[in-house]
Structure 1
Amino acid sequence: MSSSIFLALDLKISRILTGLWQVADMERDGQMLDLDVAASALLPYVEAGFTTFDMADHYGSAELIVGHLHKKYVQKDTLQLLTKWVPPPGKVSKESVKEAVQLSLDRMQLETLDLLQYHAWNYADPAWLDQLFWLQELRQEGLIKHIGLTNFDTAHLKMALDSGIEIVSNQVCFSLLDQRAKASMLALCQQYGIKVLAFGTVAGGFLSEKWLEKPEPNIDSLATWSEMKYKRFIDQTGSWQTFQHLLATLAEIAQNKSVDIANIASRFILEQDGVGCVIIGSRPGKSEHIQSNGRIIDTSLSDTEKRQIEAVLQQLHPIAGDCGDEYRKPPFLTASGDLSHHIDNFPAPYDTKIGHDGRIHALSGTIWEDIAGFSRAVKRGNKIVVSGTTATHGQAVIGGSDPASQMHFIIDKIEGALQSLGSRLEDVVRTRIFIRNIDDWEPIARAHGIRFKDIQPANTMVRADLIGDEYLVEMEVEAMVD
């Protein structure tokens, strides 16, 4: 297997990325790492051929470290520097988006970002689409070479693609413990020529000899944020005993190949169709994995060994949901078990106002609400009714000509209106769907099924002549708030 892969014609990256998220953990006492010491600790990675580094705006001084690395020790042309922008929930201005990109450029001492990976907290707030469209404009200006996503689920990755956003990658958790990407993400990425950048493949070090035949730790006794996070994944997949069975199977395969458990765990993910690379974390100056990373590239798994691993995985409880759900809905599989160390609150997606007789209106801000005299949604007492909603956002039709993507965005808009009125999608008791083309009924129904499978409201679907040729589907809902 090659040690590198093309994300795009002008961006070739290592198949083993060096992740620098643990810099933030190392600096959690408020003391920044010495930039020169940390940068020089990364130099052996480069010399060994691991030239791609993965960072984010919130990974402590990680961006500053790689800036120092290429300014003092290595020519930038030999490196690929990937970073992320994780804005707070809610609306930000176009100017703020450019300022965020410029901040990363300044920290890394660059004129253009190789890859900027974007994270959205709340799909029900269409601000995430505004931010992606603005990032695309900055790409056209030359500040960004390529756009990637991080922690996006399948439906919203597809929605962004169908809306014309040029995306080359999606970075998600994908490991032996977390097989969510195999449900639909990998197939979508192969369809659109996108690569999955997989993190968590060694589960914060749990998939290693260190924990083989060891007693189960208390989560509060664990030393790093990564260990606390991935202990929650282990708990979701079943018992510590079942996890030990997985480790024992990996240990047997690893011993036969004279490699480590972590090598086998990462190699299994790297061999999945659609995976571009795996990301292995480094604690600069304290914990390096250069030789171990090389063994991942040099190792291969036979069909028999893959079947052995798959058989053990069948004994695990699958992590529920789609990629990235751990950051958007319970159970929050984060270091703290909630979002407290990520964000403070979620602002309402839409403005509200109190009307006559105490009813509350949610307004999405379209010109048609004033022209035609209606609200996106109205709450009176414990009842909420949401107007017929199409895939309109500003001047754009979200989802392009794909009926499922339009439907998912419509549900997002409706969910945003419900959130603004103190409600949620689970409160919906009736949906009415109007479709233009009868042949689109199944993808639209399946999109409805994905979002409402555990809610199961009363539903009606009919064919109708919708206003606006570009709209393939429209939906209205009713909700009851306890």
Structure 2
Amino acid sequence: MIDRIALAPSLTISRALTGLWQIADMERDGRTLDLDAAARAMAPYHQAGLTTFDMADHYGSAEIVAGRFRRAVVGDAATVQCLTKWVPEPGPVTAADVRAAVDKACQRLQTDTIDLLQFHAWTFADPRWLDALWLLEGEREAGRLRAVGVTNFDTAHLRVAMASGIRLVSNQVSGSLIDRRFTGKLSAFAQQHGVGLLCYGTVLGGFLSERWVDAPEPDWAQLETWSQMKYGRFIRAAGGWAPFQQVLRAAQQVATRHGVSIATVASRWVLEQPGVAGVIVGARLSHSQHVADTARLFSFALDDADRTMLAEAQAALWPIPGDCGDEYRTPPYLTASGDLSHHLASFPAPFTTQPGVNGSTLALSGTVWEPMAGYSRAVRKGSRIHVSGTTATHGSRAIGGNDAAAQTHFCIDKIAGALQSLGGTLEDVVRTRVFVANVERDWEAVARAHGERFGHILPANTMVQAPLIGDEYLVEIEAEADLGAP
């Protein structure tokens, strides 16, 4: 019996989701895919109770294949759950952009209502990612989306979104025996706020399988699939082939005990972690079927001896750096290509810039306060950038609600956006000043959020209590950066 879980009042999914991202891999280099045959290949999953499929706007023909299956193969489309993603390029987002994205997904999936639309933001330094989520909320309220989720969000920005009143039901992130980042802060926050984690990469593109036990280290430059290229980077980031083999052999012993495959043990371990709503197991439709193996996820449970054996092997691994999703936003980029070149051409400046007086350059964020009070979000002169006192404001909206940590993260995002617009980064910051409206209540939350973002930089810092303009603001931060010699 396949376990199921309710992500939203009108959306119940299988806890084992079939991932269709490899359709893009099967179509690369000009190859064509028989879409009808691929649609028919979804039927065994559905018949086994694996009724939930995960895809995206950029997974080649995945949405088209799923749409054909829903209508032509199944007939009763309500028995299939199609979870897709919208991954726009960074920059301004309009209501027309969001409507067009939803229209396209509906057309390809042959439906009037999308079960779950998951949003990916390439950068949080550009606050317009929040515009996209608010507009998606409007599509949900209009009945075009049953639910809204996100993908590859770290804990801080999931917090910002939720504290700003955006109703998210899921966050899709990497999770495996090797990549355990999701078990930390993100898991605790997700459980507290009712956000289901959907974990992909649970079998590391096939590396967590019998094929690789005691096998020699592969030639990393000659791998077969994009999945292997990507997760090969995870293996190397976790310490390399030797500690990976320790985990693989431990998983093999557990698998033998339960009469299942290594891949099934690997996915079961992720599925049993707190906060995980489901695991996404990739499928190469019409090529390799793993229906029975995936269904066996629900035929057993790990016991204390299993968990101890796996944990002892995992102790030799290095932690994957950063929080969930950082592999798409900061080096080292743990992507198939090792950078973002196959995803994006460039990042537009988050804020408008213009010449100032005496050779300075100004960055303007567009808040109502700047023209009224006669100041800039930031000013660059020479190698120095001075960022004005920054509150959690985006346009006319206050961000972060009553959550001081969420407000702090958004303030720092705006500072990062101002610096980026003027040619700098957070790593160039040499001083911050933090003004807190209620030090007794909020100092620790603000300080910890500041520490998360600046802990690797360690600028000079001062925190003081000060009344702020606007009762909705809990914190204000200013910064100074030095880009060094030209």
| TM-score normalised per structure 2 | 0.98
Do residues 60 (structure 1) and 68 (structure 2) align?
Answer: no
Q: Distance in 1 between matches of 2:217 and 2:380?
A: 49
1:39-75: per-residue Cα shift (whole Å, max 9, x none)? 0011111111100000000000000001100111111
CA contact (8 A) 2:151 2:173 kept: yes
Instruction: Tell me the residue number matched to 1:441.
Output: 443
CA contact (8 A) 1:359 1:378 kept: yes
Instruction: Tell me the residue number matched to 1:31.
Output: 31
Following superposition, the deviation at residue 32 of structure 1 comes to: 3.3
Q: Distance in 2 between matches of 1:146 and 1:385?
A: 41
Q: Distance in 2 between matches of 1:237 and 1:216?
A: 14
CA contact (8 A) 1:391 1:397 kept: yes
Following superposition, the deviation at residue 153 of structure 1 comes to: 0.1
Do residues 139 (structure 1) and 136 (structure 2) align?
Answer: no
Following superposition, the deviation at residue 394 of structure 1 comes to: 1.6
Following superposition, the deviation at residue 244 of structure 1 comes to: 1.1
Name the amino acid aligned to 1:397: A
Name the amino acid aligned to 2:473: Y
Following superposition, the deviation at residue 225 of structure 1 comes to: 0.2
Give the 5 Å matches for 1:5-404: 5-74=5-74, 75-404=76-405
Name the amino acid aligned to 2:29: D
1:254-278: per-residue Cα shift (whole Å, max 9, x none)? 1121111111111011011110110
Following superposition, the deviation at residue 92 of structure 1 comes to: 2.5
Following superposition, the deviation at residue 143 of structure 1 comes to: 1.1
Name the amino acid aligned to 1:57: D
What secondary structure sits across from 1:411 in the alignment? helix
1:320-369: per-residue Cα shift (whole Å, max 9, x none)? 10000000000000000000101110110001011122100000012221
Following superposition, the deviation at residue 151 of structure 1 comes to: 0.2
Name the amino acid aligned to 1:63: E
Name the amino acid aligned to 1:262: A
Q: Distance in 2 between matches of 1:280 and 1:255?
A: 21
Q: Distance in 1 between matches of 2:250 and 2:390?
A: 52
What secondary structure sits across from 2:64 in the alignment? helix
Following superposition, the deviation at residue 29 of structure 1 comes to: 2.1
Instruction: Tell me the residue number matched to 2:477.
Output: 475
Q: Distance in 2 between matches of 1:129 and 1:8?
A: 21
Q: Distance in 2 between matches of 1:454 and 1:44?
A: 49
Q: Distance in 2 between matches of 1:9 and 1:94?
A: 26
Name the amino acid aligned to 1:472: L
Following superposition, the deviation at residue 2 of structure 1 comes to: 5.6
Q: Distance in 1 between matches of 2:5 and 2:184?
A: 24
Q: Distance in 2 between matches of 1:239 and 1:35?
A: 38
CA contact (8 A) 1:32 1:61 kept: no
Name the amino acid aligned to 1:60: G
Give the 5 Å matches for 1:418-457: 418-438=419-439, 439-457=441-459
Q: Distance in 2 between matches of 1:427 and 1:97?
A: 35
1:190-238: per-residue Cα shift (whole Å, max 9, x none)? 0011110000000000000011111101112110000010010000111
Q: Distance in 2 between matches of 1:417 and 1:395?
A: 18
Name the amino acid aligned to 2:442: D
Following superposition, the deviation at residue 239 of structure 1 comes to: 2.6
| TM-score normalised per structure 1 | 0.99
1:115-134: per-residue Cα shift (whole Å, max 9, x none)? 00000001000110011000
What secondary structure sits across from 1:220 in the alignment? coil
Following superposition, the deviation at residue 397 of structure 1 comes to: 1.0
CA contact (8 A) 2:435 2:475 kept: yes
Q: Distance in 2 between matches of 1:329 and 1:242?
A: 25
Q: Distance in 2 between matches of 1:53 and 1:430?
A: 48
What secondary structure sits across from 1:339 in the alignment? coil
1:90-122: per-residue Cα shift (whole Å, max 9, x none)? 113221111011100000011011000000001
Taking only aligned residues, the RMSD between alpha carbons, in angstroms, comes to 0.9
Following superposition, the deviation at residue 312 of structure 1 comes to: 0.9
Q: Distance in 2 between matches of 1:361 and 1:113?
A: 43
Q: Distance in 1 between matches of 2:316 and 2:243?
A: 7
Q: Distance in 2 between matches of 1:442 and 1:220?
A: 46
Q: Distance in 2 between matches of 1:149 and 1:43?
A: 27
Q: Distance in 1 between matches of 2:242 and 2:194?
A: 39
Which 4+ runs in 1 deviate beyond 3 A? none
CA contact (8 A) 2:368 2:396 kept: no
Following superposition, the deviation at residue 78 of structure 1 comes to: 0.6
Q: Distance in 2 between matches of 1:396 and 1:56?
A: 30
Q: Distance in 1 between matches of 2:345 and 2:300?
A: 44
CA contact (8 A) 2:2 2:295 kept: no
CA contact (8 A) 1:84 1:118 kept: yes
Name the amino acid aligned to 1:415: A
Q: Distance in 2 between matches of 1:252 and 1:182?
A: 23
Structure 2: gaps spanning 5 or more residues = none
